[in-house]
Structure formats: structure tokens, C-alpha cells
Amino acid sequence: MKKISKVLIANRGEIALRIIRACKELEIESVVVFSEADVNGVWVPRADECYPIVGNPVEAYLNYNKIIDLAKKSNCDAIHPGYGFLSESAEFAQACADNGLIFIGPKPHHIELFGDKMASKVAMKKIGVPVLEGTNTPVLDKAEGEEIAQVIGFPIIIKAAFGGGGRGMRIVHGAKEFSNMYDSATNESIKYFGRGEVFIEKYVQNPRHIEIQVVADAYGNVVHLGERDCSIQRRHQKVIEITPSPLLNDETRQKLADISVNAMKKLGYESVGTVEFLLDEDDNIYFIEMNTRVQVEHPVSEIVTGVDIIQRMIEIAGGDKLKYKQEEINFRGYAIEFRINSEDPQNNFMPTAGTVKKYLTPGGPGVRLDTSLYSGYELPTCYDSMLGKLIVSALDWKGAVAKARRALDEYYIEGIKTNIPLHREIVRDEAFISGKFNTGYLDTNMKKFKLDVKSSIANEEDKSLKLADMLRIIKENNLVSVKNNFTLY
């Protein structure tokens, strides 16, 4: 297979910047496309070449005919879709192949299979992967759906058949709620995915959401990079991701890894991907979906294994074999990722907008920040609310939590509301510190969190102002020292 020498990145924001960096280290040229709303994006000038796509700022990243045309005109070998937008479009992946371009990701038939939640569930069940009881075909009739729910037994969950990210999902606790929840789920599915098909399955109360990162080449080699605990969520969307899971026992951990690796081998999967599961209170395992792209939370797996997932993804697409066997991958310490979003946790997590007036970032050992934010940046309102990811790591869980507290206290964004105050509360909560959390954690604890407390960095600024006043007094009065233990040396 032809080696990749130039990549077009069909995405924006922090993931575009992340891919640019990976390409530079591999000595591969990078090209970005950008919308009119992203003309000031910090990632745009970082690429070797950049091309605007005028018009609707969302459609700019979905117009794959234009993107492919630009890739060919700029002599690219391959296209990396990042996450979101076209990353899980089998049609786009096939169009790349038809135009002589390498799609950096799985083969189109695997994207299509796992993009259909029902078909993937059937396929995984067929090869021995445990799944939740539910429908294997689309439910298009509300009355039929209610009958199925009664047979399965409440609570059940209605899920969009074609989608992800928590959209088109509704939990139904009883028959009286079914009609409204069915309408709500199908309407949201149509809005976000253009299709209203849903399926129904048994709902597991307060489960843990655990996923396994897999890496597979074209030669039948598959390895895993451990698990990530994604249980802390709001509206089925991940907020914090952790590896390894603080409460998962070694037996269950190995079982999850074995299930995932064996499934990918049997299905002939190629590229990176994430196999996602729910675990109930008795550690029973249920497959829920497979994500055929790089995940937002991939950095935590990189930190504990030392494996650059984006680089491996590019190399595999170029025909390389995996560089290591499973026994050669060493897992070291804990890593936690905090999604930093422009949203107001005090107002039902409503997205916020504005201009970043002041931006102070955390640093030091064990702190990584994946973001494209900077002082003076005017936040576009047409995209997802995620501003970036703060990732911390330490050799043990206690150290990772302490690192998180310190780093979050240092993080200061002025001009827009963010969920940083929520993260500061979480890392001080006893349940989180002890690792005792599940998907119901935020619903249970939101009311007790104090989200209007001044940030640590703001308090430090107040102290700095007071010290500046004291220095001014000393200078104006030719003093050597002042009281209250403040001495000029």
C-alpha cells in the first residue's frame, strides 16, 4: 500500500490541532479546510496548507465532495476525519476510496455495520458477545413499541438506531410515559441524524459505562489499550473519562478486554475503535455500541500506555503492521480527562457564547491540555460546546485526584461561562474520591454542588492586587517594611 505523505484534516478545533501535531512528528504534511466561522482558529495556520470553504459553517465540514476535491487538488494521499462530522460516514469513506484517497479509519462496511445500532447488536450477539434484551429490528409504530416494552418489562430505553452522543435516547420507567418519550426520542433522532428509526431494550439502572480501546491492523493483529470509565455523564453525554476504572476488578477488566479483542478479530476490523459496554451492580457485561473513530477521550489511554493513538491510526491506514504485541504494552498509573465545555451548569447546562477575555492555563508535571482556545478568541455559536480537554495523570488514583484539584484550580477562563466550577466540585466530592460512581452520579449530586464559588485563580488575583497596593505604599513612603508579616527584602 502507498505510504501516506500528505493528509487533509476534515475537522476543526482541538482534534484538528491534535492531528496536525501527529502528522508533524511523522514528517507528514498536513492540510486543513476551515469554515468562515473558523477563520481565526489557532489550528488553521499550524497546518502546512489551509483552504476555506465558504457558506454555512457546519455544512463546510460535511460537504465531502468539496473536501475530496480540495484533497485531490492539494495532492493529498489521505483524509483524516477526526471525530464528529464525517468521521462515521460510510458513504464518505467509500467516496474517498473511489477517488483514490486513503480514508484514515475503518473500512466502509465496518462503519456502516456499527453505525446501525441494531445491526451491530445482532452481529456482536452472533459471535458470542453479551447484549441487552431488546429489539433487533427498527420500531416504527408507537403501539407496537409499547407492546414490546411491556414484554421486556420497565424500565426500558428507547434509542436512535442511527446516531450517538446521547441524542435520540429516552428512559421510560412506566407505561404512562411511553407515548411522550417515544415521540421525543424519534423527533430528536430525525433532527440530529435525519432518520427516526429507534430500537427498544432493557434499561440497566445506574450502570457503569466502560469502554475498551482497540487498535487493529490489516493483517489480523488486534491489541487493546485498556478500559476507560465513562460513567460520569449528563444526558448520556460523557463529562469525565478515567483509565483504569477505580472500582473494576481485574477479572472483569480482563474479560472486557478479551471480549473486545476477540470480537474485532472475528469481524476483521481494521483501525482504531472503541467497544462500549454497560456493567450492572453484579458486573454483568452488556455490549451497547462500537465507535469506529478516534474518541474524544483517547488521551487518557495514550498517557497510561505511551501509545500515540492518532499516529498508529495514520500508520495502519498507510499499510503498516502494529508495532507491538499485547504483552509489550505496559500500563502505568491513572489518567483522568475533564471535558471543558462552554455551558452553564447552573442553568441546565445551556451552551454559552462570548469572547475569551483572559485565559490562564494549568501546567506542571502530569498535566496535559488539548485545546485550541486562546485569549481574545470569539467563540462560534454553531458548533459543539466543548472547548477542550484537561487531562491529568499520576501513579495512583489518589495522586491523580490531587493533581486534578490543583490543575482545575489553576484553570481560568474569563468572558464565557464554563463547566470548570462543576469539575472543581466533583474532584472534592467524597464519592468521586472513593471511586464510587455510576451513570446516575450527576443526577444524584448536582443539587449539593456549589457552583457560584469564586475560582481559586480569581482569589489569587485578589491577593496579587493587595500586594501591589502594599508595594506602592512602601515605594511612596520610602518604607523598609510594613506590618502584617509583609517585609520588603
Q: Which residues are catalytic?
A: 293
Distance, CA of 185 to CA of 465 (rounded, Å): 52
For the chain, how far is it from start to end, CA to CA, in angstroms? 68
Q: How far is CA 429 from CA 210, 321, 340, in A?
A: 21, 44, 18
Strands 29-34 and 6-9: parallel
- Residues 314, 7 contacting (CB under 8 angstroms): yes
User: Which pairs count as long-range contacts for 264-268, CB under 8 Å and 24+ apart, including other chains?
Assistant: 264/214, 264/216, 264/222, 265/216, 265/220, 265/222, 266/127, 267/110, 267/113, 267/123, 267/127, 268/220
Q: How far is CA 249 from CA 22, 231, 255, 436, 445, in A?
A: 34, 16, 10, 13, 25
Q: Which amino acid is at 58?
A: V
Distance, CA of 361 to CA of 431 (rounded, Å): 27
Give the CA-trace dihedral at 9, 11, 13, 15, to 10 degrees.
-70
Strands 78-80 and 6-9: parallel
Distance, CA of 167 to CA of 334 (rounded, Å): 30
Give the CA-trace dihedral at 119, 124, 130, 131, to 10 degrees.
-10
Q: How far is CA 331 from CA 232, 248, 252, 309, in A?
A: 23, 15, 17, 15
Of 62, 114, 82, 115, which Cα lies nearest the Cα of 296? 82
Most distant pair of Cα atoms in the chain: their distance: 87
Which backbone phi and psi does 393 adopt, to 5 degrees?
-150, 150
DSSP of 144-189: HHHHHHHHH-SSEEEEESS--TTTTEEEE-SHHHHHHHHHHHHHHH
Is the previous residue joined to 155 through a cis bond, with omega within 30 degrees of 0?
Answer: yes
Q: How many CA atoms lie within 13 Å of 307's alpha carbon, on the beta-carbon side? A: 26
Distance, CA of 241 to CA of 453 (rounded, Å): 24
Distance, CA of 106 to CA of 358 (rounded, Å): 40
In sequence order, the β-bridge partners of residue 233 are 238
